[in-house]
Amino acid sequence: MDGVDQAGENANARWMSIAYEAGCMVAETLSEFTTDDIWRVLDEEGVKTHDNRAMGAVIKNLKHDGWCRPTMRFVPSTRISRHGAPIRRWKSLCG
């Protein structure tokens, strides 16, 4: 089991479900997106997790289930906690 899977296993199941649904909503709305877009939805709903690394498991599940695919493009994160670190853009497969 890799670190992404471990973070997902350790995450609150309710949070994982809500985050996955937020990811589906973002994929249905945007042709390309980042995890920052999913975080924005969660922040608006006041949904928190104790380990933000669990987002890796969410995006892995979205990819596995055919909601998105990775692009080769990276952009600086807008989340303060990420300090502008590059994050991948994902291509929605919903349209």
pLDDT value, residue 50: 84
Map out the domains of the chain as residue ranges: 3-92
- Alpha-carbon span 43 to 50, nearest angstrom: 14
pLDDT value, residue 6: 60
pLDDT value, residue 12: 85
- Alpha-carbon span 49 to 70, nearest angstrom: 24
Residues 6+ apart with CB under 8 A from 19: 38, 42, 47, 49, 54, 55, 58
The pTM assigned to this predicted structure is 0.89
Q: CATH fold of 3-92, please?
A: Arc Repressor Mutant, subunit A (1.10.10)
pLDDT digits (tens, 9 = 90+) for 19-42: 999 999 999 999 999 999 999 999
Does residue 52 surpass a pLDDT of 70? yes
